[in-house]
Structure 1
Amino acid sequence: MHTFRCVGAPGRLLVTAGPAGPHERFFAEIGEPADRTSPPAHEGPPDVERPVAAAARHGIEILPPS
């Protein structure tokens, strides 16, 4: 189990996963196109239910924070 945390200024995370398959389809479903000039996609609290539900559809388990 692992986690990522952004402390301070808004940040972005680039994730790579291999082999392709469930992970690729999961990120395609929940992701939003971005480039280096794009502002942060969302303000306010994150929508946790959306990626958790998508993960379940793709056979991925997202664990609650420890």
Structure 2
Amino acid sequence: MSTDWGPVIVAVSLFILLSPGLLFQLPARTRVVEFGNMTTSGIAILIHAFIYFCILTILVIAIQIHIHF
């Protein structure tokens, strides 16, 4: 039997890509969106966590991404 690695790979890649300040930060300290500033705030963490949850739910539950090794 093989295990389903789809949710794990999707979750890890989204966690890396949606880290506040890595690619973008929403909301930023001085503007609405800043790109690659490598700083963060509490509200940015909450917004990025909400975006992460929404995209992860859509990809894993609605689209049902499965990767079997």
Q: TM-score under structure 1 normalisation?
A: 0.32
The structure with the larger Rg is 2
Q: Which has the higher strand share?
A: 2
